Chain A
């Protein structure tokens, strides 16, 4: 094998948060790219972000506008985005209008004009917005495919990274010979899902490097386009080796049931019906982490962060101070029409910002409701991606889920996600001696020998408190309507410890 080095393709920042990850680290330098999509899908904004991220006075960007949106109006609107820096005009970014050439001449003349300007400026970036509008004029002379072929060859020889922007419907992308010339093909679309609009981006083709496949959601905000990679920006991160450290719940008896606590990096599910104390346990889990120096994130969907912290105070847990100290972030993710990926990106950003070790999602039902209807169908798959990504970097996730109380079934979750969870803790009401009492049981614990005990507990001013020993004198506890198996319930029978045989 030759020892001569292969050519190294530099990767240019796209200027679009999240897109570098999707395209495999940045856009290949000198590549010839097409951004296709319907009107209003964000094509021009995406191209502007790339231009503003890469143009310099030495290697400027040339932005050719053709027919369509007036250049003055385009600048009027684009400057509203935070990435738009007027000071970069005209030394680093030059806008050139070719509409007259297109209207009065043919594509050959357009190519000549572009050639002339490129030779004059030696640009690093060239954008033609929108090349598709040139086709709608009856063609004379050169056809569009020849035009693009020649343009691609010319701009590659001038070492320019190029974007052609075009309005295309999805079915026009297939078998379109124009796209064979392109090194990169980006497809932007927006679809209506009931009353919501969902924007998605796909890298259909990218020569020279591996991109993240699939449809990635994106949003257009004041900062421009923001893309949300399906891998949440963690593809480059190595998965942490498995940890055997145990994390305390802050409830000693529960830690015992869990063979010393939750294993670090696990995904824990607390399932139970309304009022069984899922959120209380989750709060105790996060507060105990902070007490032990492990920063935490709580993603809440059903109540505001202030209310969540206030409720913790009523349990004797201080969540205000750690928030001020940067050890805790309570994320309120209520807005409707969120995509799963951008919700998860918010969580990831918060996790990375404070170096969180524990994450509480309270609750999965609230999470689902915050999503755009179109994303709810993908909820389970998205949860899988998020749990895999976060636990892979050592974050321990505790999710709560409400399940309907049933006296014939003992469900763990309404989402069939138990396979995603390493540990499942089930809380439920039970009718004993004319009282509605609460019991908990560890259903599952991967990599640990958990207790099989069914334990009664109460929610007190100190949070969840597990009472006495396991309930031995009842049959059918998990049905919720047990029957006495002995005349009286002895109190002193020892609880089954993890790792011991009953």
Chain B
């Protein structure tokens, strides 16, 4: 399953936002990986507040299963009972694999999670809920300071 272009775009924008926030341009592959974790963790905290830990865990587990279809590198990643990601060590880029493999897997996972939200809540409410985690950030194309389409 390929994430809808818009969902993938939002995922990229969140990653770019977090990369900017921690000056990702200077980070290496492992640190780049941590940007996905930052995005995921922010989603977990904010969505967990709304849906509860169980609610988020259920949503994230489904998103991970779907993401694995496109990104086999996520094969050993697990969603813990509290919704956090486990098995990230195995997800670290292997020598010679390049950062793109891990990077793409992270994008796919975040996009898949956003896709699940979008299926349940629709685009408008999903974008509104993202503002729980990124207050003040506009996620529509016209106003986003970090939007690729801005």
Contact = CB atoms under 8 A, between A and B. Distances in A.
Contacts of A86: 122, 124-125, 127-128
Interface stretch (B26-34, B47-55, B67-75, B86-94): B47-55
B51 A90 contact: no
Contact of B121 (A65, A79, A88, A100): A79
A388 interface: no
B141 to A, nearest CB: 16
Contacts of B120: 72-73, 75-76
Nearest to A100: B53
B49 A97 contact: yes
A91 interface: yes
A97 B55 contact: yes
Given A76-B121, A79-B125, A99 B132 contact: no
Interface in A71-105: 71-73, 75-76, 79, 86-91, 94-100
B19 interface: no
Contacts of B124: 79, 86-87
A88 B131 CA distance: 11
Given A71-B55, A90-B131, A97 B48 contact: yes
A72 B55 contact: yes
A89 B55 contact: no
B129 A90 contact: yes
A70 interface: yes
B125 A99 contact: no
A71 B51 contact: yes
A82 to B, nearest CB: 13
Contact of B52 (A88, A94, A99): A99
B84 to A, nearest CB: 14
B98 to A, nearest CB: 36
B128 A72 contact: no
B43 to A, nearest CB: 13
Contacts of B51: 70-72, 97
Contact of B128 (A73, A87, A100): A87
Interface string B27-67: 00000000000000000000011111111000100000000
Given A89-B125, A97-B48, A72 B59 contact: yes
B125 A91 contact: no
Contacts, number: 62
Interface residues of A, number: 21
A73 B120 CA distance: 7
Contact of B49 (A73, A89, A96): A96
A95 B46 CA distance: 10
A125 B136 CA distance: 22
B50 A72 contact: yes
B125 A75 contact: yes
Given A75-B121, A86-B124, A99 B54 contact: yes
Given A90-B128, A90-B132, A79 B52 contact: no
Contact-residue size bin, chain B (C-beta under 8 Å from the other chain): 20 to 34
Contacts of A96: 49-50
Contacts of A95: 49-50
B63 to A, nearest CB: 13
Contacts of A91: 131
A100 B59 contact: no
A94 B124 CA distance: 15
A70 B51 CA distance: 7
A95 B53 CA distance: 14
Contacts of B59: 72
A190 to B, nearest CB: 27
Contacts of B48: 97
Nearest to B53: A100
Which of B50, B54, B132 has most chain A Cβ within 10 Å? B50
Interface in A52-72: 65, 70-72
A211 B48 CA distance: 40
B10 to A, nearest CB: 15
Contacts of B52: 65, 71, 97-100
Nearest to B82: A100
B119 to A, nearest CB: 9
A89 B128 contact: yes
Nearest to B48: A97
B33 to A, nearest CB: 28
Contact of B50 (A71, A79, A88): A71
Contacts of B132: 89-90, 94
Contacts of A65: 52
Interface string B117-150: 1001110110111011001000000000000000
A99 B128 CA distance: 22
B48 to A, nearest CB: 7
A70 B55 contact: yes
A281 to B, nearest CB: 54
Contacts of A72: 50-51, 55, 59, 117, 120-121
A90 to B, nearest CB: 5
Nearest to A66: B52
A398 to B, nearest CB: 49
Contacts of A75: 50, 120-121, 125
A65 B124 CA distance: 21
A65 B51 CA distance: 9
Nearest to B131: A90
A95 B128 CA distance: 12
24 contacts: A65-B52, A71-B50, A72-B55, A72-B59, A75-B50, A75-B125, A76-B121, A79-B121, A79-B122, A86-B122, A86-B127, A87-B124, A89-B131, A89-B132, A90-B128, A91-B131, A94-B132, A96-B49, A97-B49, A97-B50, A97-B52, A99-B55, A100-B53, A100-B54
Interface of B: 48-55, 59, 117, 120-122, 124-125, 127-129, 131-132, 135
Cβ-closest 4 pairs across A and B: A97-B52, A89-B128, A86-B124, A86-B125
